[in-house]
Amino acid sequence: MDGLDTLKAKYLAAIATAADESALEEVRVGALGKKGEISALMAGLGKMEPDQRKAAGAMLNVLKDEIDAALRARKSGLADAALDARLKSEWLDVTLPARPRRTGTIHPVSQVMEELTAIFADMGFAVAEGPQVESDWYNFDALNIPPEHPARQEHDTFFMNRAAGDDRPPHVLRTHTSPVQIRAMTEQGAPIRVIAPGRVYRMDMDQTHTPMFHQVEGLCIDRDVSMANLKWVLEEFCRAFFEVPSVELRFRASHFPFTEPSAEVDIRCSWEGGQLKIGEGDKWMEILGSGMVHPKVLKAAGVNPDEWQGFAFGMGIDRLAMLKYGIPDLRAFFESDLRWLRHYGFAALDLPTLPAGLSR
Ligand code: DAH
């Protein structure tokens, strides 16, 4: 066993100079593998005399452990170096902004719904919902539009087909979002503060009308709510929505069966060079209908009109989008033309919030 020191020196040198993990593995196989040099020496122990075997076995074990330890140390050193090299070649600047892919955009109607939801949420309004296929009781009767009322004809209603003998209540495609007032009050009672954005349907089609369009309903019921509160809420909304420092609203007496008194609301604007400016000028543009909720409507929804009162309003979302974003033709909203969507659409990750800005 005199050659063990030479053997040790040889392997330690080979280990120290192995350039990578596979070279190191070759060294390991050459020394400690099944047919390795040291393994062969160990196999030879069996042929020795017991005394000799004991001494030689101990020395070989020490040598084997030393080589094994050197292999492990070198291996982890090489692995660290390999990782370092990889990290250096594959580095990535995670502070770079993401590349916008813009394969899809947010539709202006969805954008405006998000915007007005953010604005009204800030004033304490929750979002309420109702079905688009609605019973005529919710769509009309409960809103103080009885069957013989002329307003029924004005709504150009789509009626759901009914088989002869079907005695379920008649249903319609809701003609406005006002029935959600009834549903919300019936479910939650008073006090209540909700908006209800959604789709509505009327049989009508030209440059400013489509058979399906969007409205948002507002409802605020409490013990001490007046037209003054209505005016403040609407002014606050318009200022925030049109992103101008101030707006001027004009309340014109009107008539809706579900409000008393009723008012149509116009906003001050100018049309210079075909461009609309909100908040200045000498023109007025109608933007919504509103009023104090009729006692009969409160009653229909199970709210006691001697105890509670409040206001409601309804406006067209598509029209708000056209005004704010300068979109000329309503019909294009629903044609799914990709060029239109790319032009008027909004980036998917830019959610409108009051602190960050509604539209950028
Ligand atoms: N529902 C009305 C419509 O579709 C809009 C409306 C007017 C809603 C006055 C209201 C309101 O809540 O008070 O034309």
Cβ < 6 Å from ligand 1: which residues?
A: 176, 178, 217, 256, 259, 289-291, 312-314
**Ligand 1 nearest-atom number relative to CA 311:** 13
Query: Which tokens in the block code for residue 42?
Result: 């160990």
Ligand 1 atom 5: the closest Cα is on which residue? 314
β-pairing, 259-272 vs 212-222, is unpaired
Of the candidates 159, 160, 130, the one whose C-alpha atom is nearest the C-alpha of residue 142 is 130
Question: Side-chain half-sphere of 124: how many Cα atoms within 13 Å?
Answer: 8
Q: Which residues contact 162 (CB under 8 A, 6 or more apart)?
A: 168, 170
DSSP state letter for 227: H
Q: What are phi and psi of 312, to 5 degrees?
A: -140, 160
Q: Is residue 276 a contact partner of residue 323, using CB atoms and an 8 Å limit? A: yes
**Ligand 1 nearest-atom number relative to CA 218:** 12
Ligand 1 atom 2: the closest Cα is on which residue? 314
Ligand 1 atom 3: the closest Cα is on which residue? 176
The residue assigned the tokens 């409160």 is: 298
At the fourth CATH level, the homologous superfamily of domain 105-347 is Bira Bifunctional Protein; Domain 2 (3.30.930.10)
Ligand 1 atom 6: the closest Cα is on which residue? 314
**Ligand 1 nearest-atom number relative to CA 215:** 4
Distance from C-alpha of 285 to C-alpha of 266, rounded to nearest angstrom: 5
328 preceded by a cis bond (ω within 30 of 0): no
**Ligand 1 nearest-atom number relative to CA 258:** 13
DSSP state letter for 296: H
> What interhelical angle do 21-32 and 4-17 show, nearest 10?
160
Ligand 1 atom 13: the closest Cα is on which residue? 290
Distance from C-alpha of 247 to C-alpha of 234, rounded to nearest angstrom: 10
Distance from C-alpha of 48 to C-alpha of 69, rounded to nearest angstrom: 27
Q: Residue 262: beta bridge partners?
A: 254, 291
Of the candidates 86, 4, 84, the one whose C-alpha atom is nearest the C-alpha of residue 38 is 4
pTM of the model: 0.72
Q: Please state the separation of Cα 71 from the chain's center in Å.
A: 55
Concatenating the DSSP letter of every residue in 79-139 gives: HHHHHHHHHHHS---TTSPPPP--SS-B-HHHHHHHHHHHHHHHTTPEE----SEEEHHHH
d(CA 290, ligand 1 centre) in Å? 6
Q: Residue 193: beta bridge partners?
A: 220
β-pairing, 249-256 vs 259-272, is antiparallel
Q: Is residue 231 a contact partner of residue 262, using CB atoms and an 8 Å limit? A: no
**Ligand 1 nearest-atom number relative to CA 219:** 12
Q: Per-residue pLDDT for the chain (360 aa), expressed as one digit of tens each?
A: 568 888 889 999 999 999 888 999 999 999 988 888 888 888 888 888 888 888 888 888 999 999 999 999 999 999 999 899 999 899 888 898 887 666 788 999 999 999 999 999 999 999 999 999 999 999 999 999 999 988 888 889 999 998 899 888 899 999 999 999 999 999 999 999 999 999 999 999 888 899 999 999 999 999 999 999 999 999 999 999 999 999 999 999 999 999 999 999 999 999 888 788 888 899 999 999 999 999 999 999 999 999 999 999 999 999 999 999 989 889 999 999 999 999 999 988 778 888 888 886
